[in-house]
Amino acid sequence: MPLKLTRRHHSPYWYLRGSIRGLRIDESTGLSDRKAAQECLALREAELVTQSIHGARAIKTFADAAVSYLEGDGEAEHLTPLIDFFGVTKLAQIDADLIDRAVKKFGRTATGKAKAPATLNRQIYTPIAAVLHHAAQKGWCAKPVIARPKQPNGRVRSVTRQEAERLIEVAAPHLRPLVIFLLSTGARLSEALYLDWRDVDLKAGRVAFHETKNGESRGVPLHSRVVAELKKLGPAPQGAVFRRPDGKPYADRNGLGGGQVKTAWATMLKRAGIKDFTPHDCRHTWATWHYAANRDMLGLMRLGGWKSHEMVARYAHVNPDDLAPSIQGFWGKSGEVANKNAKKPTIFKEVA
């Protein structure tokens, strides 16, 4: 039977009931005005006819895909403005040109400054791609191919062990254990600031990080120096490990870290005579030290929670000086190749 408008008890809205080409419908219009609900009925009938002929790909919208994505525990951050922008645009109509228009709309800060490529990726391209990939998995659209802006090479700033000791020596009492922890575990600042004693096992010498940036938990062994510092802070059955000078936990900035230790960190750098070194650079320092000491890229990936070799490979190129002995052995001390069976040095000749 065709669709018709009906009322339900205790609801101000009109409902659509009936069937079109074998598709049974019983849903609310969300409208209390009968004339507007009648227009909704006509549009829904046309949509159902199209779906019955061409399938879901012909009618599913970005909003449909976004709702389904969120119901499947998809990441909601940065998605709301994109849902408002794309709205009921059919998935089949979302192309590179439309995505570029979204970038132009949301690609600047409140002051009008263009956002960095990494920010554009995080706030625009990644949420769009996540929704479209979800829709493709459900058969609602083709697998998307999205051209992202090229990002500059990642910053790798590290300090020497001597510089690290200077930082630790001049750090404020409440900051000192945090600095030692960051340099010894490769933890992100947010992972450290929100670390709970329940995830620290001083007896076994290890710590567990949950709800990390890449969405996966990981465990890291603790150096004896870190264990000694943490013992001075607790331990406790539960609660924040690292705290402000007044003993209160650091404020949660939606899972981010940085501003909570800004003043104390700047004071420490000034006292140590070190410039351009952020809390996150402790992670770079730890990774650089780890690779130089162990030459274990897979182990470094696992401990640091990186998902790609490319993210870790950059630490293999930071300190080439420690590879000097392997280079010096190429030609011998005199710069000539040693030949035990020859009285004169071997001379390389061109081979025709």
Query: 150: closest CA among 127, 116, 126, 104?
Result: 116
336 vs 11, residue with greater confidence: 11
pLDDT at 255 over 60: no
Q: Shortest CA distance to 45 belongs to which of 12, 93, 82, 1?
A: 1
Query: Which pLDDT value is given to residue 169?
Result: 96
Give me the pLDDT at residue 302, please: 85
- The answer, yes or no, to whether residue 228 has pLDDT greater than 90, is yes
Confidence of residue 20 (pLDDT cuts 50, 70, 90): confident
In the structure encoding, which two tokens stand for residue 348, read together?
A: 């390389």
Would you state the pLDDT for residue 346? Answer: 44
Average pLDDT, the chain: 82
Is residue 319 scored above 80 in pLDDT?
no
AA letter at 82: L
pLDDT of 345 strictly over 50: no
Find the DSSP H helices in the chain.
34-54, 62-71, 80-86, 96-106, 117-120, 126-137, 161-170, 176-185, 189-193, 224-233, 262-272, 281-294, 297-304, 309-313, 324-328
Question: pLDDT tens digit string along 139-192?
Answer: 888 888 888 887 666 667 889 999 999 999 999 999 999 999 999 999 999 899
pLDDT band at 265 (very low <50, low <70, confident <90, very high): very high
Distance CA 279, CA 265 (A): 8
- Whether the pLDDT of residue 335 is over 80: the answer is no
Q: Which amino acid is at 235?
A: P
Say which residue, 50 or 8, is predicted with more confidence.
8
Rounded Cα distance between 340 and 173, Å, is 62
**Each residue of 267-311: pLDDT tens digit?**
999 999 999 899 999 999 998 888 888 888 888 888 888 777 777
Question: Which tens digit of pLDDT belongs to each residue from 192-211?
Answer: 999 999 999 999 999 999 87
Alpha carbon distances (Å) from 277 to 219, 272, 314: 26, 11, 18
What is the pTM for the complete model shown?
Answer: 0.54
Contact 163, 274 (CB under 8 A): yes
Would you state the pLDDT for residue 290? 87
Which range, 43-47, 54-58, 163-167, is most confident?
A: 163-167
- Total residue count of the chain as it appears in this document: 352
Q: What is the pLDDT of residue 154?
A: 62
CATH class of 161-316: mainly alpha
Distance (Å, whole) CA 241 – CA 249: 8
pLDDT of residue 350: 43
68 or 41: which leads in pLDDT: 68
Q: What value does the CA radius of gyration of the chain take, rounded to a whole number of Å?
A: 30
The Cα 120–Cα 126 span in angstroms is 8
The shares of helix, strand and coil residues in the chain, as percent rounded to the nearest 5, are 45, 10, 40
**How does residue 349 score in pLDDT terms, banded at 50, 70 and 90?**
very low
Number of CB atoms found within 10 A of residue 115's CB: 17
Contact yes or no for 181/187 (Cβ under 8 A): yes
CA distances from 285 to 137, 179, 254, 264 (A): 40, 12, 26, 20
Contacts of 5 (CB under 8 A, 6+ apart): 14, 15, 16, 29, 34, 37, 38, 41
The residue among 318 and 342 whose pLDDT is bigger is 318
pLDDT value for 325 = 59
pLDDT of residue 329: 60
Of residues 230, 223, 238, the one with CA closest to residue 177: 230
- The dihedrals phi and psi of 111, each to the nearest 5 degrees, come to -90, 0
What is the percent of the chain with per-residue pLDDT over 90, rounded to a whole number?
Answer: 36
Confidence of residue 231 (pLDDT cuts 50, 70, 90): very high
